[in-house]
Amino acid sequence: MQIPALRRKRPRSAGARRNARSPIKPAEVLCNKVGKYVDEQAVDDIYRAYLFGAQAHKGQRRQSGEPYILHPLAVAEILSELRLDSRSIIAAILHDVIEDTSTVKEQIADEFGEDVAYLVDGVSKINKIEFESKEHAEAENFRKMLMAMSRDIRVILIKLADRLHNMQTLDALPPGKRRYIAKQTLDIYAPIANRLGLHKWCQELQDLSFHQLYPKRYHAIAKALNKRAGNRKSVVKKLRTTLERELSQSSLDATVIGRKKTVYSIYRKMSLKHKSFSELYDIYGFRIIVSTVDDCYRALGVIHNLYKPIPGRFNDYIAIPKANGYQSLHTVVFGAFGESLEVQIRTDDMNRIAEAGVAAHWIYKSGSDSSVKSRQLARQWLLDLLDTQQQAGNPGEFLEHLKIDLFPDEVYVFTPKGEIKKLPRGATALDFAYAVHTDIGNRCAGARVNRELASLPSVLNNGDRVEIITSDTSRPTAAWLNYAVTSKARATIRHYLKSQQRYQAVDLGKRLLDRAVKTRRFGRKKLTDEQRRNLLDTIGVDNWEDLLADIGLGKRMPSMVAKQLLPPPTRRDQDAGQAQDSPLAIRGSEGMLIHYARCCSPIPGDTITGFFTSGRGIVVHTAACPNAKGYEKQPDKWVPVEWDENISGGFAVNLRVDVHNRRGVLARIATIIAEQESNINNVTVDERDGQIPSIRFTIEVGHRRHLAQIMRQIRGEPSVLRLSRAKG
């Protein structure tokens, strides 16, 4: 559909608006609202955008049956409450035309400018690409939106307003779709609104989502909340009067505002504290707004002098602001009527930031430090997220990191120089290392927490002083993912492991292909550049390293690649080179591309064979392993392997020990194993009849001689009845 160029001016008079061919009341309401804070030319442009959008969406209706154009107008009206600029309002009116009509970005740019086209494109979903799954599509759309947000924060403001109106009108959709959208909103959009300081939007999104996901719980809590409000209205009024009087007597110019918790916040508190509604007392609270920071602390003194503070329930977010720039003093006290009372104390400027977050800049045209800091924090958060998404291996992984990052119940810890680092609750010393710097994280070997040695999995608490110990030989391992909490740490570790895996895959692939080519060419294994180029063109691989990596990961068989590279050998070549076909040497240092089968736990000295597994490289089995015999139907995936003469490292092996049930027998066997310079990785005990328990050890050995030495020493223990190397 081609949208004609619209240069029509908004009708000036009410009569002209009524006689115009297509204006409807919501467009007039929007223009009147926006007209209170922008000039007349901007209002004309907004009206022209409405005409453009109405034409583009002509004939389209929402699930409720109403004309589709009413939705973008409602989104624009929500943004007008934040007093966003006219370009944002225009983009909000047009935010669905690229996604839901045949209009293209260039048309919007021609009519309304590149900035509006950029905002509309940033909000639009990617709907012209086929994705592997719904999750991948969702993740890619978030990735696209965050990229646009990093350049212009208004992209997410439009998207959040769009989601807010969709949630307000969700009842027209089928139940399954309502629950899916509500869950997505609660998991991602509400936390984003919170992270950007848009608390009013966040609370409404949470309540609307909770209502759709758990309607019975929502109505039960809302009913109980309204009942308590009616019963205690006079109590709240008396408390407010008392607070105002005491603050006034202390010469503090303060505004006291009563506040009631939302249904969803009460539900969360009930869930986290495992309490019923009747056991919650701090349902109501007060917000005290004063002029200066000094007045905040003076007011705090007045409150604590009037009512007794509850230990552990005070937070100073002025000295240490939240990640989204939020600042306030929070305290919970015992009220005059025997109930807990939450009090928040902040300045006017802090209150503006608390209410509107990054949008405070447009509402109040504020150039204050708090307003600027809020925008800087939001931008830094976005840049950190973009850094994370660049390291994420796939869209699903990025979505996981995003969800982790959106729930930062924070702890504040200190560097040795006294700098504050904010981390999510449950963060470890490893997370702190990555928060300081990526290189510090990749080389960390331990930590000192409050000057005492601590391991990397140690969980940090508020106020801890943390120093990271680094080592040039320390490198990330897959085990680090078990105790890394922050998205930055997890993404960096995964990125490192994948880069290491590729390096190892290329090295292993080269060894395998060299061996296959040598076998096929019988000693004359050097390949020409022309042979390599021809093969890459034939199989459609970009470069030689990618091909070697595919071979190392088991995605391509080296024998098949060698066959494509080289012509069939002649009988003369075969006779001359039969003895040169040698097994692949296993060195023990190949990393994550050589796996040792758990079913038979091969160790140096065992006769072994290798089997290709797609994505994992080579799995090594003992030649006598029953599972190895089961793979005989796939001879093309087998590769001859042998232990290298200079094999190194520790290899897991299982021992089964039947013993007399005597005191201390387990400790004595463990001591024997330790004395033979072996580590015990795991111990399980099967009691059986109670008289002869069977103990299973998983230990590390260097080779078969080392294992034989350990077994000989264990057999010498009088309590040992039977000893065998267990399989499986």
Q: Which of the following is catalytic: 44, 81, 96, 99?
A: 99
- Residue 142: pLDDT band by 50, 70, 90 thresholds? low
Strand partners, 700: 652
Answer positive or negative: Cα dihedral of 217, 218, 219, 222.
Answer: positive
User: What pLDDT score was predicted for residue 265?
Assistant: 87
Length of the chain measured in residues: 728
pLDDT higher than 70, residue 580? no
Q: Is the model's pLDDT at 93 over the cut of 90?
A: yes
Average pLDDT over residues 401-406: 57
Q: What tens digit of pLDDT does each residue of 475-484 get?
A: 887 788 888 8
According to the 3-state scheme, what is the secondary structure of 533-595? HHHHHHHCCCCHHHHHHHHHCCCCCHHHHHHHHCCCCCHHHHHHHHHHCCCEEECCCCHHHEE
pTM above 0.85, yes or no: no
* 480 neighbors 488 (Cβ within 8 angstroms): no
pLDDT exceeds cutoff 90 at 288: yes
Q: Say whether 99 is catalytic.
A: yes
Nearest to 289 by CA among 230, 349, 241: 349
First to last CA, the chain: 66
Residue 281: pLDDT band with limits 50, 70, 90: low
> Which has more pLDDT, 488 or 255?
255
Q: Which residue has the higher pLDDT, 618 or 286?
A: 286
CB atoms near residue 61 (< 10 Å): 12
More confident residue, 206 or 547: 206
> Which of 26-35, 391-400, 571-580, 705-714 shows the lowest mean pLDDT across its residues?
571-580
Q: 543 or 21: whose pLDDT is higher?
A: 543
Q: What is the mean pLDDT of the chain?
A: 78
Under 8 Å between Cβ of 635 and 682:
no
Residues 189-202 have pLDDT tens digits of 888 888 777 888 98
What's the mean pLDDT in 12-40? 66
Of the ranges 552-556, 686-690, 717-721, the best mean pLDDT one:
717-721
324 phi and psi angles, rounded to 5 deg: -95, 10
Q: Give the pLDDT score at 129.
A: 42
d(CA 450, CA 452): 6
Tell me what pLDDT residue 651 has.
Answer: 85
What pLDDT is stored for residue 299 in this prediction? 93
Lowest model confidence (mean pLDDT) among 1-10, 64-73, 397-406, 524-533: 1-10
Predicted confidence (pLDDT) at residue 607 exceeds the cutoff of 80: yes
Tell me: pLDDT of 46 over 50: yes
Percent of the chain whose pLDDT exceeds 90: 18
Whether 430 shows a pLDDT value over 60: the answer reads yes
Confidence of residue 365 (pLDDT cuts 50, 70, 90): very low
Structure tokens at 241: 């009067």
Of residues 451 and 50, more confidently modeled: 50
Cα separation, 26 vs 76, in Å, equals 10
Q: How far apart are CA 148 and CA 55, in angstroms?
A: 27
- Please tell me the predicted confidence (pLDDT) of residue 247: 92
Distance CA(638)–CA(628), nearest Å, equals 10
The gap from C-alpha 344 to its chain's centroid, in whole angstroms, comes to 31
From 90-94, 373-377, 667-671, the region with the lowest mean pLDDT: 373-377
Which pair of structure tokens corresponds to residue 611? 């089997």
pLDDT band at 471 (very low <50, low <70, confident <90, very high): confident
Could you give the 3-state DSSP secondary structure of residue 385? helix
Query: What domains are defined for the chain?
Result: 14-211 (1.10.3210.10), 218-366 (3.30.460.10), 651-726 (3.30.70.260)
Cα dihedral: 597, 598, 604, 608 (round 10) = -40
3-state helix, strand, coil in the chain (%, to 5): 55, 15, 30
pLDDT tens, position by position, 97-130: 988 888 888 999 999 999 899 888 888 764 444 4
If you average pLDDT over residues 70-76, what whole number do you get?
Answer: 93
Cα(85)–Cα(112) distance, integer angstroms = 14
Weakest-pLDDT range from 91-95, 132-136, 452-456:
132-136
Average pLDDT over residues 506-525: 69
How sure is the predictor about 710, in pLDDT bands with cuts at 50, 70 and 90? very high
Choose the catalytic residue: 44, 85, 100, 700.
100
Q: How far apart are CA 357 and CA 373, in angstroms?
A: 10
